[in-house]
Amino acid sequence: MSRGNFLDLLPTELEALAESLGAPRYRGRQVASWIYGKGVLDSRAMSDLPRDFREALAERGEAALPELERATPSQDGSEKLVFRLADGGRIQSVLMPDEDRLTLCVSTQVGCGFGCTFCFTGTMGLGRDLTVGEIVGQVLAARARLAAGARITHVVYMGMGEPLANYAATVKSLRILTDPRGFGLSPRRITVSTVGLAAGIEKLAKEDLRVNLAISLHATTNETRDRLMPVNRGFPIEALLAACKRFPLPMRQRMTFEYVLLDGVNDSPQDAKRLLKLLKGIRAKVNLIPFNDWEGSEFVRPPLARILGFQAILLENGITATVRWSKGEDIGAACGQLNERVAG
């Protein structure tokens, strides 16, 4: 039997594993507490477990983290973490401090297959989906780097890849992060971002996870969105927004719409007015993201006056709109900049 990664398992599955090894189910809860509560990954170091059970666990598997290849600090306090996977693939996570919160941005795929034209990650193409353990492992590995007393308060699925295209692993990792016997994060502190896979949004709506949803919209007409985001040819704006309207939002929560502002492409006052019409009937907030440049891109960031003018039209009409100046731009860790070639 091949050894598995315990980070692939829900706490209930760790209970079942303990039972299969001849131990009471509560031993599995103890294992989960060691891994997620104390950050202890070596089963032989889980000192309140019987020695024979520890040995049996070690034979069956391990809690394996992706290897941290390098960590690059930003002038704004962010830190880009580059992880090397067992097969040589590389992914990135980004730690982003902001006053009393510390957000970790995690990846769900090696590269991305959706080819959004303004996104550097999209130029990589899709390498493969990440496993549950490789997603959860980013959170554990990032947490292990923190100073005493610091903690990750929020997790956003906005790194490399499309979370809803790696649906099963994304959902299972969300369950581990929100399980009180796992990380115990509040679902309200987790956000899943999608390029607009309407079918995936419909599925996620039935999972009873209550996490936040962020939609990468980036255009107000199908013509422009087709050009920017090839996914729009399969799920046009009308189908996407219909799925959004059916998504169950907890009380006082809003759905986030991400909108990268591109000079002369989607940043006109007419675009802002069309966006107002599109979002009618949705409890929405808009994150306006001034384009983050990368070498070889055809796009540029709009001038500040146009960015603020676009925001003003939304605010004046009752839509919460924030200009999100991406963190980590100086280290290639800002929104749309993550890119890691597989080592050859």
Residue 172's H or E segment, with its range, is helix 167-178
At residue 334, the pLDDT reads: 47
131/117: higher pLDDT:
131
Mean local confidence (pLDDT), 64-74: 93
Q: pLDDT at residue 136 above 80? A: yes
Mean local confidence (pLDDT), 314-324: 95
Domains 4-62 and 67-331 share a fold: no
At residue 343, the pLDDT reads: 34
Would you identify the CATH topology of the domain 4-62? Answer: DNA polymerase; domain 1 (1.10.150)
Question: pLDDT class for 342, splitting at 50, 70, 90?
Answer: very low
Q: pLDDT at residue 335 above 80? A: no
Which stretch of 32-46, 110-124, 326-340 has the lowest confidence by average pLDDT? Answer: 326-340
Q: Strands 67-73, 212-216: parallel, antiparallel or unpaired by DSSP?
A: unpaired
- Cα distances (Å, whole numbers) of residue 157 to 171, 206, 308, 314: 11, 19, 27, 26
Q: pLDDT at residue 2 above 70? A: no
253/332: higher pLDDT:
253
Mean local confidence (pLDDT), 47-54: 95
| Domain spans of the chain, in order of start | 4-62, 67-331
At residue 326, the pLDDT reads: 59
pTM, full prediction: 0.91
- Percent of the chain exceeding pLDDT 90 equals 82
Q: What are 158-184's pLDDT values in tens digits? A: 999 999 999 999 999 999 999 999 999
At residue 119, the pLDDT reads: 86
Q: pLDDT at residue 339 above 70? A: no
Decide if domain 67-331 falls under CATH 3.20.20.70: yes
Q: What are 232-287's pLDDT values in tens digits? A: 999 999 999 999 999 988 878 899 999 999 999 999 999 999 999 999 999 999 99
Q: How many residues does the chain have?
A: 344
Q: Given phi > 0 = left and psi -120 to 50 = alpha, else beta, which region is 16?
A: alpha
Mean local confidence (pLDDT), 51-61: 95
Kindly report the average pLDDT of the chain as a whole number.
91
Q: pLDDT at residue 341 above 80? A: no
Q: What are 153-165's pLDDT values in tens digits? A: 999 999 999 999 9
- Enumerate the β-bridge partners of residue 323: 288
130-154 b/e with 16+ CB inside 10 Å = b?
A: bbbbbbbbbbbbbbeeeeeeeebeb
At residue 253, the pLDDT reads: 86
- Residue 274 neighbours by CB under 8 Å, 6+ apart: 220, 221
Q: pLDDT at residue 332 above 70? A: no
Count of helices and strands (H, E) across the chain? 10, 14
* C-alpha atoms less than 13 angstroms from C-alpha of 9 in its C-beta half-sphere: 22
Show the tokens assigned to 196.
Answer: 């607009």
Residue 183 three-state SS? coil
